[in-house]
């Protein structure tokens, strides 16, 4: 049900992704994450197209953490921030973090091979149904994503929506 991948650039780090629908306690989960009781990035599932999008954001967050250049206070908040096409931190949390009324949540955990990545702990805290990561596209709001990332129909003729999103995530620090 979950997806765990080793990062190529940081082979000592693994990323585990969990996806939930019909979540009834988003407000409680958000509070627990802010208090540090949940070690993970809690992401609005409707704003994610593909697991690769989260891998890119996580890879960038780890790189910034290792170089001391993070713009947020924690690795998990940096992952959420790196999903955004802009450099506005509060806007990134509004759009990509979970809100009190969300009914689907995507959770990203970062760990080493030796570390326990607390999946059982996370599962016990979420009041919702875990679904396979492969079903992520059924929760994605592509119209909202196109609008936020300002993807044109002409652009999608020469590449995918995911290509456009990843490109904007990657270049936001340069613009």
Looking up residue 114, the CATH number of its domain turns out to be 3.30.2380.10
- Strand partners for 110: 15
Return all residues near 47 (Cβ < 8 A) that are at least 6 apart. 83, 95, 96, 140, 141, 144, 145, 148
**Total of domains in the chain:** 1
Give 68-106 pLDDT, tens digit per residue.
Answer: 999 999 999 999 999 999 999 999 999 999 999 999 999
Say what the pTM is.
0.94
Predicted pLDDT of residue 114: 74
Which residues span the domain enclosing 100? 3-171
Pick out the chain residues at pLDDT < 50: none
Distances (CA, A) of 130 to 16, 35, 114, 122, 137: 14, 23, 24, 11, 15
Predicted pLDDT of residue 12: 94
């Amino acid at each position: 049900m979950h997806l765990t991948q080793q990062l190529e650039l940081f082979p000592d780090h693994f990323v585990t992704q969990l996806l939930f629908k019909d979540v009834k306690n988003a407000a409680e989960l958000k509070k627990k994450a802010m208090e540090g009781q949940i070690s993970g990035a809690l992401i609005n599932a409707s704003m994610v197209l593909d697991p690769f999008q989260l891998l890119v954001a996580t890879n960038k967050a780890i790189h910034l953490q290792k170089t001391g250049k993070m713009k947020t206070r924690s690795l998990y908040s940096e992952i959420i921030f790196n999903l955004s096409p802009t450099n506005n931190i509060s806007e990134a949390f509004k759009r990509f973090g979970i809100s009190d009324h969300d009914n689907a949540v995507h959770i990203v955990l970062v760990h080493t091979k030796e570390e326990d990545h607390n999946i059982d702990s996370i599962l016990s805290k979420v009041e919702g149904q875990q679904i396979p990561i492969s079903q992520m596209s059924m929760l994605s709001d592509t119209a909202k994503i196109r609008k936020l990332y300002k993807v044109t129909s002409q652009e999608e003729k020469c590449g995918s929506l995911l290509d456009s999103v990843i490109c904007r995530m990657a270049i936001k620090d340069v613009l």
